[in-house]
Structure 1
Amino acid sequence: MIMKNIVDIDPEKITNFWNATIGERFPLREQLWNQNTVTDPNILPQASFAVLDEDKLIGILVSKKYQEQHQNLYMPTETGWIQCLLVDRERRGEGIGTRLLSLAEKTFQELKLKDIKIGRDPQHYFPGIPFEDKESIRFFENKGYEKDSIEIDLYKRVKDQSLYELNHHESYFRLLSSHDHDSLLQFLQVSFPGRWHYEAARYFAQGGSGREILGLFVNGEMKGFCRLHDLDSPFIAANLYWSPLLEGKSGGIGPLGVDRSVRGQNLGLDIVKAAANELIKRGMDHIIIDWTQLEQFYGKMGFRPWKRYQSMSKRLHF
């Protein structure tokens, strides 16, 4: 067996290995691999590996640390992420995963990071370990990782569905344009600093025009937002990562947030309904909501659990 840097492996080879391992549940496209791993500036090449046996790929691990330099984007700088760890089904139990994880953790220690999270990285694939992968969960528990929250993806078939009825007039909501760039980022910096602010800044940097963001306006002032995506978006959004599993056209909703000053008025539910209506008008057959704990909230609109994940983390000690 030999070990190589993950960035030196042909993306097609990675994609074929991934899909042979978990593709029936999480089908990977080469475009998605390039987007989330190869071109992500937060990847740690020195802690991201591929294991080969006579040129056959039998294991991969990708590590990340936030490394971008942006003002006012409050992303964690003392966290390490394991974006993915996969081992060939026929080669498990040989210590390959243990070796890969040990090398990644050694780098995190050398960088004096405070904790490690499984998934949840910038440009992530998963918000945790797929809940049905009990063996993987036990593997990380045995390595000192603790269970955190359970996250879910939700799904609803909306083909031929009528539009949702809103509690508030539809004039409260409109799709943004490039002219709303500064207003949105200012709103998020104040009301939702951190990941959502970062992802919005990245959205515009990746060529977003605003058609993927619905704004909530009260008396002309932005008071909320909701992301919505389809396959015409300038990148593959997180809620559409696994859409190849579904026949027809898929759209995605989330994240969303409403300013504290206007909560308690059903505006949060309304902005989701308005976003769903926009996707229905665009001809979507399905809508997916990813990485949430709000099963009851979205259940009011008929969304039901599709995938579950066990988030896990580990504190580092020096």
Structure 2
Amino acid sequence: MEDPTRSIDDLDAVENVVWVDLRTAEEWAQGHIPGAVNLPILDRDMRAEVGRIYHAEGQDRAKLRAVDLAAPGLPGLVRAVADLATRGPVALYCARGGMRSCVLGRLLAGLGIPASVLRGGYKAHRQAVLARLATGIPPLIVLHGYTGAGKTRLLRSVADRFPVLDLERLASHRGSTFGGLGLPEQPTQRQFESLLAARLRSLGPGPVLVEAESPSVGSITLPEKLCEAMRGGRRVFLDVPFELRVKNLVEDYGELALREPGAIEFSLSYLSSRIPGPEVESWRDLVRRGELQRFAEQLLRRHYDPLYERWRRRAGASFWQTIQAPDLATAEIELGRLVESATAGAVP
């Protein structure tokens, strides 16, 4: 019988591969190959029992018990994998490419259902992720600007024309005091790194557009090599009118503020160490009354703009280019011109 095991590099090169994660739901939740379908061959309690037998009675007894526990679910598991195989080439993996994936791989082969097995399992994927994050960061064009300038909007508007690394989308957080409001739960650190590595692999050699971020985006810590590349990248400052920044903030958070004002009010508590309490309370009142434009104006003038200016002075930030634009459409044109010149190696 042909050996079904293949390396992570081989399987990453397969088009439309369907990853099947055979680990427990808890293992999957901590981190998995992006897009993988979780079909546990053992649940958490079963796996714990097998582990206890392994330590008390040895490997052979543990394997036999694992087979006993997995056997009732195998018919359904085989049917599920056979169904997935209609979508594309199936690749199985478990924690280290051991019993869970190899046994099912051999069973599927005997039934004529083609499936590869990831050699080294999730551990091999994790090693590949860390290697890419350590060595595979392309040259970056880093978009800076005051809060509300529309940096994220601008990058997403040109993503169909130029390579864009959208860290806020990967991290499910906007990177500010209110950054998590209205967004799905953030991924684990491991899962974020898997998503980031997959995105970097798809982008090519660069230059790649990215929004300036602090080393932490919500609960996520950016890899050091990425932070270094951002610090060393070509900095572009997006300069838009204050009125447009206010409008952008109201559009970003206005619906949530009207629907769940308590969420905005709670987030304001994080500013109490920087802004006097009475002023924060006055902002809460503005949110309660639905005066979102005044709230956004005061938040920018009293909190975000001074914060950004302190960062610029501390970092000694200088910019490769500045985009002065009255609206998003103009900013798109100017950013496109800069990216094309950088890609061609020209000086604009």
Please give the TM-score of this superposition, normalised by the length of structure 1: 0.31
Structure with higher strand content:
1
Question: Of the two structures, which has the highest relative contact order with CA contacts closer than 8 Å and spacing of 6 or more?
Answer: 1
